[in-house]
Structure 1
């Protein structure tokens, strides 16, 4: 093994030792031999440790060895048996396949024999049935109908066995019988229709599908039902024309006539659907419904023509269009919108009943298709149904009618709102004028009437028109009154203009200013109440829409929701009027009164002695008179403003009080007792203003309260007990610079100590 290695140190054998020349090589070879020796010793130790286990395993193997020989023998026997079974199964399977082929051939033979027997039976029976006019037996009992179900090509294969001439004769006779039966059924059905024999009509209608005339049968039956519908509708229309104005249904008689038409068609569909499904199969009802719908279109057109003629509809539409274009016609040409109210209600009722009928029509047609088709085929059929409904004359006529309705309803709503504004009155006990209730009653009535029409486009249009009327016409009236401003003795320009206006009228009216104040405050109240009415209207209409259109498409729901939201947004625009009025009040009524009252604070010393402090406690220098004057001012406005506007007014008064008082405080000098006095005055003022409103106003006094706290400190460093990490829940509204300025108001605090504060 040493000879196979070229490296002398790779195997330290006696042969390699001769090649070791240097001491380094000898030492290296020796080290390797030591390592190898240690490795072999470790391996031998490991084997010796497991000697008993290895001996046990070897003993076990010796015991198993005989069993392995037996297992080998059994495995060979099992393999032989499986091979034999496989061969046997293959042979049996082959025999079974042969038997299946034979069975199928026998079955086909039996079927052909049965078909030949049926053919001969039909040939023999059909002649007798036709002679006896037993048409049901000639078809439904299996003669012609059974003949039509036979496969002629398969039967022709029997010609090779000598049956050819007989089969030809049978086929010829049955084909002749089929044509004869078709002719008879058509003739008998037409005769039954002519004589009005409904039993015979239904009898022969059932035969049509059995002789392969599905579409022809449905067409003939549909025409018969259409004639009945037309006759009944003409009778109802004649009755409608004879109704006098005293009749309770006179104002909606044409809507009732159309309803009767829809109900009669719906009743026919409900009654005849089981008959058609039984004899014609599923998916055939829509063919009949299309025929009935075309007759419905014709009858509705006649009803609408009579309706327009009786109600002078076209003339009314023309007058409305003229008045809409020329907004200010002469008094003689002015069209009274009141006459539209009844007419609009009837138009809406017409459309409501139409939408209800079309939904019924679609539901029945789709239901019939669902029982006959599935997946893609069903989707195509539903598209066909929707296209038919959208293109039918009934739908188009009602769309045209709704178009005119929207124009007239918008005109009615706008004119009635403007009329409500022109007839605006204020009752003594009311904060608002009549125009608010009247206008929102009209708008609500018009929008709800549109919702009842069930027309998504019509509803959306009227919601948009309602938003426009409220946002432009109605709001503009309120805004113009508020924009005129609140009269104030301090507003010299306004006072001058008012005097000039009174002089031009020939006299100086002392009540002009009071009237202007009332107009301003009522307009503010109107705007505030209108905000609430608008939100309530939006909420009510939203509920009605969700309830009425819960099963509509997502697209329709999204359109309606968008328009309802726009109506609700009008409240935001009305709130702008209130906010503008409040700003006017603040500049004209609040600021001119609060500023002089606050000047009294500046004239009251807060650098006081203990005697002065005791005297102030007994004889308040300014705050009680301040509160009294504010109370008088608030009392004046409380009776004139709505609750919400009054609270807003108090809030504005509070804002102005705090603003003016902060400026006054920064111009005043304090000592310790003066700071304590200011704190008492401030508490009295906060307590009063909190008692006169339901809103919280303490937050507005946060800065002043913190000023009072600073002015009450005994020492400058005491501020640090309330500042920074020691502030607790208190949030400081004053900046460090403002705090130092307020501390400097204390005459007893040294400026050096204030500057040293680390804020």
Structure 2
């Protein structure tokens, strides 16, 4: 192949340039295109290019001068054209000839300029052609220089390798590989680079040299590793990337550091005698050995990461970390296998699994409380029943601690590796870079951090955790069993020893599970602890409580029963404290886990809290049993004995005698103290208060029954009041339990009995009850009043059946003005912005508008008449013009008259509606009782108004209109307002902002008063739509015009939405993807409705919702949101219907409440007693007996499905 001129060797080109220079020494000052093309010498070309640039600059200067004169001439012509409107015809005719000549001269000048411009364009084309030729010459020069440099690098490589200068050879090799492949593989390089001593092509020379050099460097690196020469290791390690063999270098370096790790691990485990000695002496020998392995890996990563990053670049340490993980997996598995073998873990676990449940029912016999006195102890036969020891618990405790330490430190080590691997991966910008650095293995084996998804260490630790769970469960069960069997009671304590022993074991066990840093392990252990508490702890107490009275209601049995109750009470306290401590400890120890793992940990810990429910159920049943056996049978007789000789229809003398003796109070208090004194000394404070609560509740009910059967006069009522206060003070002094609340019904009886006359009932009952929440029903109030007021039943009925006008009118606040601002019951509904009715506001608005219009028109007409009069008097208007002007004024007056007529019709309509609404409320104030026909009719109209309001808000305008027409209440509703707003809403549904922006313009001042952001949101949406269709320039102009005025208050939102110019509608970035969401139009509709309602004085929510929520708030209790306690007849408990309205409502402030049966929905009271099943769930007596009658005496709990006999249900007493 014959080489081209560009591919000639350097020597040939130099000779060619000399010949060309001789031939072209006669270069002309005005070179032709042929002459320029014949040039080959660089110096001549550069000289010619300089001359052409000089000539081009000259031509450009001439053009600039001509163009400057042209601008002056055109400016003169423009001025002359302006003068055309002011000069008269004569002057213009004189100047025109001159202008014509000037115009001809300007045309000639323009022609000259055009010719000059063409000449300049031709010169510019020549210059561009010269630029192209020059660029080609420069490319040829650059090509020659690169080939020269390549030849120099190859010779340098060969020279350095001969001199064993490996660093220089690697640097020359790195530089040679930096040339473009077109240079390396080009024909010019293949001609110029080969020499007589080395005739091969450059690519062949480089490949052979690289292979030879790589082999030398690899051998020298391995030799340095064997000599442990850190200087030579670093020296040769940094040469691999210069050869383009980064992975080879990293692999060799990884092998080197892995050998360090392996050597340290082997040194720690070497010597069987030493191993046996250390393992026997140190309870954590294997955990410590594993920790030292982890520490050595961490130190290597910390020390060697800067070296790798310096010579290989950021992120390259990932490959070394992967190799270290593989090596540490091998070494850690050997350590853990030695741990299993030396500690005999598998054998112990096998024995534990083979060991069946060790007669756990023995606890039923042996779990009684042992006392220092023989009466409270257990028999020798019971104590003889034991469980054989299979494994020493102390040895298991040591093994468990070491396994926990292994799991904890392994988790910490994995976290360290993952964090360092992630920090390396962050340096890569794409997946290809990661694959080029990572170890060549299937992708599915590695996680996003670049490490193995399931390492050998992780699998082995999981096995250790499985062993841990088996041993820990066995250890816990045996420890709890033992604590319950050796349970003792010491005189002077209120609890036995098992409580402290068991909860010490529980705390130790849970702490160990948390310290494993394994959420699944912690969850399994806590679940097992819950099962152990229920099966081996609570069950023992439950069996002992059931059998303690088997030998009769003796003093010793009662005492032992109270100790059991104290044990349960203290256990509840311990369990709550333990849960709080463990929750704090666990959250601090596992904060590094993912959010999903943290949520799981919280759920697991909350399950431990749920265990207290069974404790509390058992405690409540036990206290009820204690109360039923020891106190209830004695309270009734005590009250009757105390009332002997006492009456409340007394004369003055009898009152004075009772005042001095006060026999009732003394007898009742002394008898009550004798009953509760033994309990106070034996029970814990919480149990004692609960017993007192049940006792006081029972005493109050018994007392109420006596009062209902007693007649009073005024002195008797005063005597009863003093007796009740004295007993109340005494009961308060006995306990911290709120006993006064249990006496509320009795205190309300005293209030009724103290009334001087029946008319005073209005001050404390019904509308005027104020802060009093009546516990007495209407029937009971009538009964009490009848015991003091005789022959007054009609008066009582009249006093208790009045309408609360103020409360009902509070919900009419948006409908018509009331006396004061009303705060609705719902927290998310504020009071309307004004108290004025809608028709009155419309009337006021119409009057203001018409007044402004009239004033403006009258002022204009007055000015017009004055002007006509003035011009007429001056004679500047003839009679015809005056007549025409007056006709115009008359027409404008007629138009104004028609507008005033329309305005007067609107005002009459609004006045009529205001009158009708006032009359509607006036009708309500004249109604006195709830059971009257007038109130029923008024309520129906009110209900129709509320329903129509709801229909209008939901868009059912035709239905609302038909309902209003059929009920003849058109004047009580505002259908027209919703019809007007419907047009704007329909436009927004069509995704058009025009109508809504027009509405904002019409109501601009009112919207500013309520600080509305509707207009900004509309402008923002229009900008989004422009960005959606890619009209970026229009969007920028729109933002400057419409969004800039909002910068002071909405700069953050403006910046956010402007980013849409970068992020298109298909973006996956959520903050900007959300802006493109079509649902924003629904948000705009909702915002418009809220602003429109605010301007029209509507409530933010439909009146139907407000009214329903007012009623739902009175029914809402915490039980409504507990699935197990929902009632089928409660509207709040149904989340799919009315319950959704009650979500944000506050809980009802009930001073007393009713208990409703889940089965029947009936209220449980003295006529339908609450009954508890053995599983702790409570239902009504009537429902359970009906179920039993249909199922052969069997009852099925609807919550748990458990089946019980009807004889197993027990009465419940609520305290």
TM-score norm. by structure 1 comes to 0.80
Pick one of 719, 723, 727 that aligns with 1:685: 727
Q: Structure 2 vs 1, CA of residues 128 and 588 (structure 1 numbering), >3 Å: closer, same or farther?
A: same
1:585 to 612, 626, 630: 626
Q: Are the counterparts in 1 of residues 511 and 582 from structure 2 also a CA contact under 8 Å?
A: yes
Assess, with a 3 A threshold, how the Cα gap between structure 1 residues 533 and 243 changes in structure 2: closer, same or farther: same
In the alignment, is residue 263 of structure 1 matched against residue 286 of structure 2? no
Distance 2:551 2:127 in 1: 118
How far off its partner does 1:171 sit?
A: 3.9
How far did 1:553 drift?
1.0
Query: For residues 476 and 304 of structure 2, what CA distance do their matches in structure 1 show?
Result: 45
Q: Is the 8 A contact 2:759 2:799 kept in 1?
A: no
Structure 1 residues 181, 87: closer, same or farther in 2, change over 3 A?
Answer: same
Structure 2 residue aligned with 1:307: 339
Equivalent residue number for residue 551 of structure 2: 498
* Contact kept in structure 1, 2:445 and 2:452, CA below 8 Å: no
Counterpart mapping for 1:290-305 below 5 A: 290-305=322-337
Q: How does 1:360-399 map to 2 (within 5 A)?
A: 360-373=416-429, 384-386=447-449, 388-399=451-462
What is the distance in 2 between the residues matched to 1:644 and 1:153? 93
Q: Match for 1:712 among 744, 754, 766?
A: 754
Q: Say whether 1:193 aligns with 2:219.
A: no
Q: Alpha-carbon deviation of 1:336?
A: 3.9
Q: Hey, what does 1:272 align to over in structure 2?
A: 304
Distance 2:551 2:635 in 1: 24
Q: Which has the higher helix share?
A: 1
Instruction: After superposition, give the CA deviation of every residue in 1:185-244 in whole Å (9 maximum; x if it has no partner).
Output: 222223333343333233222222222222222222222222222121111123796267
The question of whether the paired residues in 2 share the 8 Å contact of 1:607 and 1:674 is answered with yes
- What pairs up with 1:227-626 in 2 under 5 angstroms? 227-238=259-270, 242=274, 250-323=282-355, 331-332=387-388, 334-373=390-429, 384-386=447-449, 388-484=451-547, 497-498=550-551, 513-600=554-641, 602-603=643-644, 604-626=646-668
Q: Judging changes above 3 Å, is the alpha-carbon distance between structure 1 residues 246 and 216 closer, same or farther for their aligned structure 2 residues? A: closer
**Counterpart position of 1:54:** none
Any gaps of 5 or more consecutive residues in structure 1? 1-58, 488-496, 500-511
CA deviations on 1:412-455 (whole Å, 9 max, x unpaired) are 12221222222222233322222222212111111111111112
Instruction: Supply the distance in 1 between the matched residues of 2:503 and 2:113 (Cα, whole angstroms).
Output: 95
Task: Tell me, in whole angstroms, the C-alpha distance in 2 between the residues paired with 1:291 and 1:368.
Answer: 14
How far apart in 1 are the matches of 2:117 and 2:475?
Answer: 95
Higher relative contact order (CA 8 A, sep 6+): 1
Counterpart in 1 of 2:154?
Answer: 123
Please give the alpha-carbon distance, in whole angstroms, between the structure 2 residues aligned to 1:248 and 1:339.
Answer: 12
Q: 1:113 maps to what in 2? A: 144
Separation in structure 1 between the aligned mates of residue 339 and residue 220 of structure 2, nearest angstrom: 40
Give yes or no for contact 2:185–2:202 (8 Å, CA) kept in 1: no
**From 694, 704, 714, the counterpart of 1:652:** 694
d(CA) in 1 for partners of 2:561 and 2:240?
81
Q: 1:583 to 1:62 in 2, by over 3 A?
A: same
Match of 1:219 in 2: 251
Q: Does 1:157 align with 2:186?
A: yes
Which region of structure 1 is more displaced relative to structure 2, 465-474 or 308-317? 465-474
Match of 1:204 in 2: 236
- Displacement of 1:545 in angstroms is 2.2
Q: Is the 8 A contact 1:431 1:525 kept in 2?
A: yes
| Residue 347 of structure 1, CA deviation | 0.6
Q: Is the 8 A contact 1:451 1:459 kept in 2?
A: yes
Match of 2:742 among 679, 692, 700: 700
Number of the residue aligned with 1:738: 780
Are residues 222 and 327 of structure 1, via their aligned partners in 2, closer, same or farther at CA, if it must alter by over 3 Å? farther
Alpha carbons of structure 1 residues 407 and 377: separation in structure 2 relative to 1, 3 Å = farther
Superposed displacement of residue 356, structure 1:
0.9
**1:319 and 1:276 mapped to 2: Cα distance?**
51
**1:324, 1:79 → 2: CA distance?**
117
In 2: Cα distance, 1:452 partner to 1:82 partner:
93
Larger deviation: 285-294 or 242-251? 242-251
Cα offset for 1:529?
Answer: 2.0
What is the distance in 2 between the residues matched to 1:545 and 1:99? 79
- Structure-1 residue corresponding to 2:957: none
Q: Distance in 2 between matches of 1:308 and 1:548?
A: 26
Shift in Å, 1:623: 2.0
Residue 105 to residue 363, structure 1, CA distance change in 2 (3 Å) = farther
- Stretch moving more, 589-598 or 114-123: 114-123
The answer (yes or no) to whether the contact 2:359–2:387 under 8 Å persists in 1 is no
Render the CA deviation track for 1:17-38: whole Å, top value 9, x for unaligned: xxxxxxxxxxxxxxxxxxxxxx
Count of paired positions: 672
| 2:1064 match | none
Q: Can you list the C-alpha shifts for 1:143-178, whole angstroms capped at 9, x where unaligned?
A: 112222223433443539953755844443333221
Shift in Å at residue 586 of structure 1? 2.7
User: For each residue in 1:261-301, what CA deviation from the matched residue of structure 2 results, as whole angstroms up to 9, or x when unmatched?
Assistant: 11111111111111111222233222112222222112112
Contact 1:366-1:382 within 8 A present in 2 as well: no
**Structure 1 SS opposite 2:418:** helix
Kept after mapping to 2: 8 A contact 1:244/1:250: no
CA distance in 2 between partners of 1:581 and 1:86 (Å): 114
Residues 22-64 of structure 1: CA distance to partner in whole angstroms, max 9, x if unpaired?
xxxxxxxxxxxxxxxxxxxxxxxxxxxxxxxxxxxxx999439
1:573-598 CA-to-partner distances (Å, cap 9, x unmatched) read: 22112221222123222211211112
Displacement of 1:639 = 1.5
2:775 counterpart SS class: coil
Compare 186-195 and 246-255 and name the one that shifted more: 246-255
Separation of aligned partners in 1, 2:616 and 2:586: 26
Aligned residues of 1:715 and 1:749 also touching (Cα < 8 A): no
In structure 2, the residue matched to 1:491 is none
Distance in 2 separating the partners of 1:566 and 1:84: 97
Unaligned runs of 5+ in 2: 1-81, 363-385, 436-442, 801-1215
Question: Structure 1 residues 122, 274: closer, same or farther in 2, change over 3 A?
Answer: same
